[in-house]
Structure 1
Amino acid sequence: MIETTELTKGYSGDPAVTDLDLEVEDGEVYGFLGPNGAGKSTTIDMLMNYTRPSAGTLTVLGLDAQQNASEIHARTGILPDQFGVYSTLTGREHVHYILDANDATGDPEEILERVGLADAVDQRAGGYSKGMQQRLGLAMAIAGEPELLILDEPFSGLDPYGVRLVRDVVATERDRGATVFFSSHVLDQVERVCDRVGLLSDGHLIAEGTPKELRDMAGVRTQLSIETDSDDPPIQAIGELADVQNVFSETGRIVVTCPRTVCYNVLKTLDSAGVNIQSFDIEHGTIEDAFVELATES
């Protein structure tokens, strides 16, 4: 759905994106992650032909991004980073405009309900809060069931409910068969919905893979720390559990390195052995931890 080869963009001699080789497969959710200024929005601008690359090639939907920009736009839903509303138009009119422009069908009320704006369908968008405007932008992006969905910082300005709503919409669009490509610097949210992730730092793609692969690549692990009064916990039995990577004990404490899905089995093993578990804590290795490690190495 998206393919770039040595894609490069510079402004006044300063590189924003350098030699980017990227492949996004049909039907996947691809998270394009990195801090502000890493080059994420510049890459999206090149994909949508808002700006031209300094060097390299890129195709979107199998089409040349420059020569076939109109067709790509008609088949792509986009939420840009600097999204703005028409203050005198209602939410319904915004969505209807997109449907009409792309010669697509859809019910504006149903689309706006999906993003939590059912009560503001006929309210002028100039009176929307920032979070409501962001939701309206998401509604416009998904209107007409596009083949490709490009979301640039979709969590911007949203409260926790709105963040969850974006995740739900992304999952629904993927289940429908759409490909979703989105950029974000909110790394912990992306991990919950992405099939694959690309980490961008200073215009360079420094790592790519599933969230688990990136955590493994960076040596980031989840640790289960258990407080107990047992003098002789069953360390060997825990170590023999599937996917447990390491276990050690010290006075009143057991530390187990394992995936989150194995933590329950560890606790169950201790309980079955009659060990009194006073408390436990799980320190999750996150995609953010992996990014920091990989960016430092790079």
Structure 2
Amino acid sequence: MAAISVAGLTKRYGQTVALDDLSFRVHENEVFGFLGPNGAGKSTTINVLLDFARPTAGDVRVFDHDAQRRSREIRRRTGVLPEGASTYDRLTGRQHLEFVIGSKGADDDPERLLERVDLVDAIDKKAGGYSKGMSQRLLLAMALVGDPDLLILDEPSTGLDPNGAREMRDIVREENARGATVFFSSHIMEQVEAVCDRVGILRDGEMVAVDTVSGLRDSVGQGSTLHVWVDHVDETALERVRSTPDVTAVTTEGEGRGGESAEPTIAVQTGGAKTDVIHAIESAGLEVRDFETEETSLEDVFHAYTTGSGSGAVAGEGTRTGTETDTDPEPDTGATEETEAGRR
């Protein structure tokens, strides 16, 4: 059973289309990265999952429950860290957590929760005196109340220093190891790449790709770049490298590291064995003095898909494309267009 199943989701605000026939699935007990530029529809998708916004059309299910008809049950099983959320200045950290614990009928210990997010020393301080990073840690602790089956984290590293971001990633891994599904929305590519099993990329309200990070790298056709420092460069060597299987591009980069003119560099984009490239260079009579591999970054992949140069929804091991569903649920024709006012 999918933790989240979205089929044909459309959301309009007047003449503005925020989501356009969006379909994807999040497997139980996976960490799913949700990426997209500003205005792509990420927050709208999360609001529909939590029934803070009603879809214009489509079917949305969380743990096989209709997200609109069974929203209270879904929220009881879900911990949420919303983007841009604020704390109450006059309440202490302890009081924030006691309120959430009471509202969920949980029996968590506020001190234990704040220890997990490294905020226990400020447990009885009013949140109005918290820094932005401290407030974000408190909001994360609130999301962890009740050992939720689903964690929805929207820009969870906002305001956190590098140590805080690392601790947040550790908590995500711990919660996932406990059995929780994590829906992780972020603009910080390194955060997503570090913790996510699969990644979905949203563009203009449509899911343009869903795959593992490595699968997405392969899908944009860039593979990895091998930088080889040599004693000199000639056209014979370059032609041999170009004819090597799985090589897609070969360029020279002039002077070597640190401006050392004696070490020009050959840059090779290849999806094949790096040893084949090295052998081709050496067989042309060049001396290989050093080499290193540069993998295509998730940021490069994100740029390719969000600027329209990606190859579209991709298929591969563990992949779900934008049109694939395991079942064919009837859309909720009773869903109506409405604003979020009064639904929180």
**What is the TM-score of this pair, normalised by structure 2?**
0.75
Query: Equivalent pairs: percent with the same residue?
Result: 47
Give 2:98's match in structure 1, choosing from 84, 96, 103: 96
CA distance in 2, matches of 1:20, 1:248: 38
Q: CA deviation at 1:33?
A: 0.4
Q: Which residue of 2 aligns with 1:41?
A: 43
- Indicate how the Cα distance of structure 1 residues 230 and 16 shifts in structure 2: closer, same or farther if over 3 A, else same: same
What is the total number of aligned residue pairs between the two structures?
A: 293
Give 2:289's match in structure 1, choosing from 277, 285, 292: 277
Q: CA deviation at 1:26?
A: 0.5
Aligned residues of 2:33 and 2:185 also touching (Cα < 8 A): yes
Q: CA deviation at 1:67?
A: 1.3
Q: Which amino acid aligns with 1:170?
A: V
Within-5 A mapping of 1:11-22: 11-22=13-24
Q: Which residue of 2 aligns with 1:293?
A: 304
Find out whether 1:150 has 2:152 as its counterpart: yes
Q: Which amino acid aligns with 1:186?
A: I
CA distance in 2, matches of 1:64, 1:20: 16
Q: CA deviation at 1:293?
A: 1.5
Q: Which residue of 1 aligns with 2:31?
A: 29
In structure 1, the residue corresponding to 2:75 is in which secondary structure?
helix
Aligned residues of 1:30 and 1:180 also touching (Cα < 8 A): yes
Which digits, 9 at most, give the CA deviation of each residue in 1:31-82, with x for residues without a partner? 1101111100000000000111111111112111111111111110001112
Q: Which residue of 2 aligns with 1:198?
A: 200
Q: CA deviation at 1:231?
A: 8.2
Q: Which amino acid aligns with 2:304?
A: E
Q: Which residue of 1 aligns with 2:126?
A: 124
Q: Which residue of 2 aligns with 1:189?
A: 191
Q: Which amino acid aligns with 2:154?
A: D
Aligned residues of 2:98 and 2:110 also touching (Cα < 8 A): yes
CA distance in 2, matches of 1:102, 1:4: 26
Q: CA deviation at 1:11?
A: 0.9
Which digits, 9 at most, give the CA deviation of each residue in 1:112-132, with x for residues without a partner? 121121221211111111111
- Report which structure shows greater RCO (CA 8 Å, sep ≥6): 2
Q: CA deviation at 1:282?
A: 4.2
CA RMSD for the aligned pairs? Answer: 3.4
Q: Which residue of 2 aligns with 1:180?
A: 182
In structure 2, the residue corresponding to 1:191 is in which secondary structure?
helix
CA distance in 2, matches of 1:20, 1:255: 39
Aligned residues of 1:247 and 1:254 also touching (Cα < 8 A): no
CA distance in 1, matches of 2:233, 2:8: 59
CA distance in 2, matches of 1:245, 1:141: 47
Higher share in helix: 1
Q: Which residue of 2 aligns with 1:79?
A: 81
- Indicate how the Cα distance of structure 1 residues 54 and 253 shifts in structure 2: closer, same or farther if over 3 A, else same: same
CA distance in 1, matches of 2:174, 2:25: 22
Which digits, 9 at most, give the CA deviation of each residue in 1:79-125, with x for residues without a partner? 11121111111112212222221112222112112112122121111
Which digits, 9 at most, give the CA deviation of each residue in 1:175-222, with x for residues without a partner? 111000021222232111111111001111111111111111111322
Give 2:115's match in structure 1, choosing from 113, 116, 122: 113
Aligned residues of 2:222 and 2:269 also touching (Cα < 8 A): no
Which digits, 9 at most, give the CA deviation of each residue in 1:258-288, with x for residues without a partner? 68xx889x99xx9xxxx6735x554331122
Q: CA deviation at 1:294?
A: 2.2
CA distance in 2, matches of 1:281, 1:119: 45
- 5+ residue gaps, structure 2: 255-263, 282-286, 313-344
In structure 2, the residue corresponding to 1:219 is in which secondary structure?
coil
Aligned residues of 2:82 and 2:153 also touching (Cα < 8 A): yes
CA distance in 2, matches of 1:293, 1:255: 20
**What is the TM-score of this pair, normalised by structure 1?**
0.85
In our comparison, the structure showing a higher alpha carbon Rg is 2
- Indicate how the Cα distance of structure 1 residues 219 and 79 shifts in structure 2: closer, same or farther if over 3 A, else same: same
CA distance in 1, matches of 2:59, 2:298: 29
Q: CA deviation at 1:253?
A: 3.0
* Greater CA drift, 111-120 or 8-17: 111-120
- 5+ residue gaps, structure 1: none
Within-5 A mapping of 1:216-227: 216-227=218-229
Which digits, 9 at most, give the CA deviation of each residue in 1:229-279, with x for residues without a partner? 3789x99xx99xxx98679797943445468xx889x99xx9xxxx6735x
* Greater CA drift, 25-34 or 219-228: 219-228
- Indicate how the Cα distance of structure 1 residues 174 and 263 shifts in structure 2: closer, same or farther if over 3 A, else same: farther
